[in-house]
Amino acid sequence: MQSEKQKEQKEKLDELLRKADVRQYDCYQCGKCTGGCPMAHAMDLKPRGVMRCTQIGSLERIVKSNTIWLCTGCHTCVERCPHDVNIPNLIEEARYLAAEMGYVRRDSKILNEVFLANIRMFGRNHEMLLAGLYNMLSLKPLQDMPTVPHMLTHKLIGVLPHQTKNTAGINRMIARAEKFSSMRPAGK
């Protein structure tokens, strides 16, 4: 017998897969996605593991993982996948679900808010400010310090912000996007 909780999980998982347009049994666990994933080293659940969880019906492990917040959406995995399994789509949908279920990690939420505030201010991201604010608010103020000299000397990061020409337009876009519930930023 399946418990109520299991049934509910299964329904949610099916819904998630449907929204993401992913069929879990397309995946035969070859690992080509994970092999080429630029973020896999930091993920607690590798991309192949995400697909494995969809197959064994473990929604909880997906929404609680740091994977869904680390995925950069580069689509390298889909590009190489022999069965065209769209893992980034699945992860994107899983983010909404995680937010709904209250599994958004505090630091992810902070990053999201800082990032959006950044965009609202300059119309584009100011990396120095993003890193600074994020590290302060997440109570790890010194975590990126060792890389700063390298980043600065190699011009990978700038001290001064760049302002886009039409910041107001960008803000209108954000406001509009927020109106659509399906496009709401995670964590709100």
- Shortest distance in whole angstroms from residue 37 CB to other proteins: 8
Tell whether residue 50 is a contact of other proteins (CB under 8 A): no
Q: Alpha-carbon distance 50 to 25, whole Å?
A: 12
Residue 68 near residue 91 (C-beta atoms within 8 A): yes
Tell whether residue 57 is a contact of other proteins (CB under 8 A): no
Residue 92 near residue 69 (C-beta atoms within 8 A): no
Please give the residues from 73 up to 92 whose contact with other proteins meets the rule CB under 8 A.
Answer: 80-84
Which of 17, 36, 105, 121 is in the footprint of other proteins by CB under 8 A? 36
Q: Alpha-carbon distance 171 to 46, whole Å?
A: 35
Structure-token pair, residue 59: 């929604």
Tell whether residue 64 is a contact of other proteins (CB under 8 A): no
Which of 6, 29, 147, 164 is in the footprint of other proteins by CB under 8 A? 29
Which of 40, 63, 70, 104 is in the footprint of other proteins by CB under 8 A? 40
Residue 147's CB: how many other CB atoms inside 10 A? 12
- The residues, ordered by sequence, that sit 6+ positions from 38 with a Cβ below 8 Å of its Cβ are 72, 74, 76
75 vs 80, which CB is nearer to other proteins? 80
Tell whether residue 48 is a contact of other proteins (CB under 8 A): yes
Interface ranges with other proteins (CB under 8 A): 28-37, 40-41, 46, 48-49, 80-84
